[in-house]
């Protein structure tokens, strides 16, 4: 997967970035997209795929690119840098991430360290695991269920 900047619009402190995303597969299939990143949210503006994507595939594609786009924006690969931000998809390499209780301890440590630094803990988990936002939230929820993080809401 490769991600590179298209353009950026700034209004005060707020910035909206448009990025080109390209996925090329060994069998010759290819997906080109234009995505918008604003206030931590990702929106797919345009997609061209050969062969065509089903609606289900398109939903998975949007989840799949969320992490690499966040890393590309956080890494300073904004417009004007002139550099393409190549990102590897961690989903295909199951050996990179721990599983089960080991993963929960890893997520809990990453989450707490991000809170101590004053950064978004969900984004930190996304960056460390390579998961989409939805996947990171699932991992955080499982970590809470395992008792390694405090409950989200105190029960009365």
82 and 104 fall within a common domain: no
Check whether residue 105 and residue 140 sit in a common domain.
Answer: yes
Q: From 44, 68, 88, give the residue that closes a domain.
A: 88
Answer yes or no: is 14 within a domain: yes
> HEC states along 48-70?
EEECCCCHHHHHHHHHHHHHHHH
Q: What is 102-118 written as a DSSP string?
A: HHHHHHHHHHHHHHHHT
Q: How confident is the model at residue 16 (pLDDT cuts 50, 70, 90)?
A: confident
Residues of the domain holding 95:
91-145
Whether pLDDT at 88 is above 70 = no
Domain-embedded: residue 156: no
pLDDT level of residue 74 (50, 70, 90 thresholds): low
> Which is nearest to 35 in space by CA: 7, 60, 54, 14?
7
Domain-ending residue, one of 88, 106, 134: 88
Percentage of the chain with pLDDT > 70? Answer: 76
What residues form DSSP beta bridges with 9? 16
Residues 9 and 82 in one domain: yes
Give the pLDDT score at 90: 36
Question: What's the pLDDT tens digit per position in 130-153?
Answer: 778 888 888 888 888 888 888 876
Residues 9 and 21 in one domain: yes
Res 133: pLDDT: 83
Measured at the CA of 69, the angle between CA 34 and CA 36, to 5 degrees, comes to 40
């Amino acid at each position: 997967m490769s991600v590179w900047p298209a353009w950026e619009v700034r209004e005060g402190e707020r910035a909206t970035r448009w990025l080109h995303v390209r996925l090329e597969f060994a069998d010759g299939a290819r997906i080109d997209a234009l995505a918008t990143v604003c206030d931590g949210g990702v929106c797919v503006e345009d997609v061209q795929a050969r062969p065509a994507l089903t609606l289900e595939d398109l939903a998975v594609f949007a989840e799949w690119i969320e992490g690499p786009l966040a890393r590309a924006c956080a890494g300073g690969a904004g417009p004007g840098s002139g550099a393409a931000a190549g990102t590897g998809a961690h989903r295909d390499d199951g050996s990179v991430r721990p599983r089960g209780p080991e993963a929960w301890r890893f997520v809990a440590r990453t989450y707490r360290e991000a809170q101590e630094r004053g950064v978004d803990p969900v984004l930190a988990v996304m960056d460390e695991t390579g998961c989409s936002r939805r996947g990171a939230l699932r991992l955080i929820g499982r970590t809470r269920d395992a008792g390694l993080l405090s409950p989200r809401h105190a029960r009365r």
